[in-house]
Amino acid sequence: MSECTILCLDPGEHTGWCCVRTEDMDKGVWHIRGGTADKDHRCVVELLEIYYPDIVVFERFNLYPGMAKTLSWNSFYPCEVIGVIRWWCLQHNVTIYEQAPSIKKFSGGLQNDWKLLKDNSVNLSAQGVTEHTKDAYLHWKYFERNTLSKAINAEKAKRYEIYKQGGHAAYRHRHD
């Protein structure tokens, strides 16, 4: 079984997302779609449940010193979303990769598959494709360029360990 699903998220008031799937990790042919989820924890969980990723990549929250005073009394909703993501991934044994907000400028920019993502967008909200979707896409491009091959090897090793421990039936059920 060599299919793999990676969900990249830009947590925020509206959470941008980009989902990439392949039927064969070794061939590296990825199918892409994305959109923006409404400000609702259930929308984020629904997104995770729909795509049931093997790997989740998300933008970590950094409170920069220059913003500390401006954000006084803020509820930090993006941190709540990150908590929901972490909890769901922990419950489902899904690998997490956090990325700094600053990596977007090193992602290689918008590529040809950005048009495919926009054409294949899924509206889980009235937002459609937004700046948050673009940020999630840029997190995918950075991950693809810098971490993907190591992540694929780690995922294969994880699957092999599950198989060795007799968990192959449970793992197969997850992907049926």
Assess whether pLDDT exceeds 60 at residue 168: no
Give the mean pLDDT of the chain. Answer: 78
Alpha helix positions (H), 63-147: 65-68, 77-91, 112-119, 131-146
pLDDT at 122: 63
pLDDT at 71: 57
Q: What is the CA radius of gyration of the chain?
A: 16
Higher-confidence position of 137 and 147: 137
**CATH number of this structure's domain 4-174:** 3.30.420.10
Q: How confident is the model at residue 118 (pLDDT cuts 50, 70, 90)?
A: confident
Q: Whole-prediction pTM value?
A: 0.76
Residue spans of the domains in the chain: they are: 4-174
- Determine which of 26-30, 62-66, 87-91, 102-106 has the lowest per-residue pLDDT on average: 62-66
Burial 33-58 (b: 16+ CB within 10 A, else e): bbbbbeeebebbeebbeebebbbbbb
